[in-house]
Structure 1
Amino acid sequence: MRRTLFKAATAAFLLCALPAAVQAKTFELPDETPLVTIDLPNAWSPEEIDKGAQATSPDATIYVAFEISNLKNTEKAVVDAVKFLADSGVKIDPSTQKKLETKINGLDVVDINWDAVDKDGPTKVSLSIIILSPTKIGVLTYWGSPAGEKKYAAQLKGIADSIQPLGR
């Protein structure tokens, strides 16, 4: 009886997990020699961009982008990301900056967060610099409303957790 229940529970789990696994688009980046993969939810209309991939939540409260850059241009990558946000109408409050060093799936990460304001009101901004190799970094940029951040917390965690190094 226990064996039958275990088999049924395992089958139910696999059937439930399978749709979740295919509900995201996987990107291997960079195109020429992939170093990393990232999954972006299909419901967020993920798409390739010049140096990576981007997606926006269905209600447009959250935007994420993941781009590959050269390690020697880390400062330029950060400046470019902040400029992109400013050009998109996001005004960062520099006095709220918080910096944290962490790891994602064994990769070293420097995470910088700010409070900001966009056309819809208060927003949160995160810029994560992920060391992919001795010559390449990944820059994960995120901005969204505090309500969107709460609503999509699981998806945002899933996006970050999906970043996987290749060939290590």
Structure 2
Amino acid sequence: MKKLFLAATTALMMVSLTTGAYAAKFKFPSDAPVAAVTIPDDWESGETESGVEATSPDEAVYLSIDVADAKSIDDVMDDAVNWLGEQGVTVDASTSKKTEDKLNGKDIIYVEWDGKDKDGPASIGLAALVLNADTILVLTYWGTKGEEEKNTATIGQILNSIKEQ
């Protein structure tokens, strides 16, 4: 009986860990939600003026998701680039790589670069996730090369949790 209880407890813990039981779900923007995302509790996260942002526990990865519409997409992308510059992130334009794909059944265009920050080599990315004809999510990614890889699975879980509201 003791072995059965231990096995059941272990199985329950594994299911809880793999289903994100210890995570915060953000619906954003809070005054009129158009999207939701689930971010693990051990990540520092919070709502911003136009979305949400999160930093991994080891501070190797920063990720933000902002709401834009077709008219404001350029402004939101410019704001993201300017914010990265204010953080001391520089981009090597010659490394630009554009990818078009699907994320959760929605079209996504992702542009990534190599660059640098105060800690050295960095990965930088901007993406436009088309929720519908009127709403686009702008994803900003910044990771420390050599450290960000430790967060790959969690980043995948976060991205896969993005849903239209």
Q: Give the Å deviation of 1:35.
A: 2.2
Moved more, 122-131 or 22-31: 22-31
Query: Is 2:119 the counterpart of 1:120?
Result: yes
CA contact (8 A) 2:28 2:47 kept: no
CA distance in 2, matches of 1:13, 1:99: 41
TM alignment of 1:2-13, pairs within 5 A:
13=11
Bigger proportion of residues as helix: 1
TM-score by length of 2: 0.88
Aligned to 1:17: 15
CA contact (8 A) 1:107 1:165 kept: no
CA distance in 2, matches of 1:15, 1:41: 15
How large is the Cα RMSD of the aligned pairs? 2.0
Aligned to 1:80: 79
- Deviation track 1:75-122 (CA, whole Å, cap 9, x = no partner) reads 222111111101110001111111111111111111110001001100
Gaps of 5+ in 2: none
CA distance in 2, matches of 1:143, 1:134: 27
SS at match of 2:72: helix
TM-score by length of 1: 0.86
CA distance in 1, matches of 2:136, 2:21: 27
CA contact (8 A) 1:70 1:135 kept: yes
Query: Which residue identity does 1:100 align to in structure 2?
Result: T
Query: Which residue identity does 1:16 align to in structure 2?
Result: M
Query: Is 2:138 the counterpart of 1:139?
Result: yes
Aligned to 1:159: 158
Aligned-pair identity in percent equals: 35
CA contact (8 A) 1:115 1:123 kept: yes
Q: Give the Å deviation of 1:31.
A: 2.1
TM alignment of 1:1-150, pairs within 5 A:
13-20=11-18, 21-150=20-149
SS at match of 2:154: helix
CA contact (8 A) 1:90 1:118 kept: yes
Q: How many residues align?
A: 160
Q: Give the Å deviation of 1:12.
A: 5.5
Moved more, 133-142 or 27-36: 27-36
Query: Which residue identity does 1:161 align to in structure 2?
Result: N
Gaps of 5+ in 1: none
